[in-house]
Amino acid sequence: MSNNSAIGTESFATEAKVEVSKKLRWAIIGCGGISETHLRAIEKIPEIEVVGGCDIKPERLELMRSKYGFTKTYIEWDEMLKELKPDVVDVCTPNGLHKPAVIAALNAGCHAITEKPMAMDPAECQEMIDAAIINNRKLCCGFQMRYHPACDMFMRAREAGDIGDIMFVKCRALRRRGIPNWGVFGQKELQGGGPMIDIGVHIIESAHYCMGAPRPIAASGNCWTFMGDRPSEVVSSWPNWDYKTYTVEDLAVGQVRFDNGAIMQIESSFCNHIESDIHTFDIVGTKGGFSFKDATIYTDHAGTMLNSKAAFLPSTDFGALFIAKFKNFADAILQGTPMRSPGEAGLAVQKIIDGIYRATAAGKEVSID
């Protein structure tokens, strides 16, 4: 994908694999569509060997066997954990199953990585973190956008003093017509919410990471459902969603205050009356600003306002981001290097999202503990 898009077509590099002395035995819980993105990325990481998978749908397990060569597949994750004893469990289930699957893996002595969002609410996230601590295992939240080269660019500029104190961040994860017409994305009891928790989380996590992860202290916002719970009557690339089971928001807007005085505004939609889809964030600091979408820093130099756009960034396609996050997790386990996205990062982002949902229900600003 180009530097002007946060989420694009998957592409996976074809570098030659390097032989390694130690391989992590990796198992997957939840063999749906996102697991295939994981598998294509993992193929490029010599430190990882996939040893099996678990899913409640026999047809998904058959696909894993025929397409990816799985020799061990299971319906129940407890059976898989007991028999395979993997080093790492990769949880790719609907959001409502993240917590029980991760905790089962941690209690079985495995390290765990879970798809975003980390869980349904902050309390579940904390339970997962506690289980990792008790079992002395590593827990990673699958936030790939913070590995984006544009984020690396910003972090270098911030550390060099080009941004100053961050005052304001605007996050936008907006689709004009993009209600998923597969899976359970429209069912709040299984997902925890709609676009805010599903696609907003991508932009929130990368922006919060770039801010230096300040502590959120209060949130306000609102959510609206005005198209998703009705039949699809407009021509679009994702038509005929299940409107009868649709219980999430179409559009969510919120504002979060942080302990350092900074403010984050968030807009996220599955469907909306806007010109086109956009997935980006903008940061305003006392000395400079930044656009993720354009990989550009805005600042003043020698009496002139300058826009400094990156002349080159490494690959920004979606597949490369997945490779980067799995490699970082593997290195953390095998070499003890720092994780960019530990469980605590997942908890902080969940507090932001949960705060906006709670503020919507309360009709006023709410505090975030």
Are 150 and 94 within one domain?
A: no
Are 290 and 208 within one domain?
A: yes
Give the CATH number, domain containing residue 117: 3.40.50.720
The yes-or-no verdict on residue 19 having pLDDT over 60 is no
Exposed / middle / buried, residue 126 (Cβ in 10 Å: 0-12, 13-18, 19+): middle
Angle ∠(218,221,225) on CA atoms, nearest 5: 150
200 alpha carbon, distance to own chain's centre: 9
Are 296 and 218 within one domain?
A: yes
Average pLDDT over every residue of 337-365: 98
Query: Whose CA is closest to 270, among 205, 191, 207, 349?
Result: 191
Give the CATH number, domain containing residue 200: 3.30.360.10
* Mean pLDDT lowest among 68-82, 106-120, 315-329: 315-329
Per-residue pLDDT at 16? 43
Are 216 and 336 within one domain?
A: no
The yes-or-no verdict on residue 2 having pLDDT over 50 is no
The 10s digit of each residue's pLDDT in 131-152 is 999 999 999 999 999 999 999 9
Are 124 and 199 within one domain?
A: no
Are 47 and 69 within one domain?
A: yes
Domain count, the chain: 2
Q: Is residue 4 part of a domain?
A: no
Q: Is residue 161 part of a domain?
A: yes
Average pLDDT over every residue of 327-347: 98
Per-residue pLDDT at 318? 86
Confidence of residue 9 (pLDDT cuts 50, 70, 90): very low
End-to-end CA distance of the chain: give it in Å, rounded: 38
Are 49 and 131 within one domain?
A: yes
Total Cβ atoms within 10 A of residue 271: 24
Are 92 and 189 within one domain?
A: no
Q: Is residue 62 part of a domain?
A: yes
Are 28 and 64 within one domain?
A: yes
Domain that holds residue 356: 146-315+348-367
The yes-or-no verdict on residue 199 having pLDDT over 70 is yes
Per-residue pLDDT at 316? 79
Are 171 and 210 within one domain?
A: yes
Question: What are the φ/ψ torsions at residue 4 (nearest 5 degrees)?
Answer: -95, 10
Are 199 and 304 within one domain?
A: yes
Q: Is residue 12 part of a domain?
A: no
Angle ∠(76,137,206) on CA atoms, nearest 5: 95
Q: Determine the residue type at 43.
A: E
Are 275 and 327 within one domain?
A: no
Upstream peptide bond of 117 is cis (omega within 30 degrees of 0):
yes
Q: Is residue 18 part of a domain?
A: no
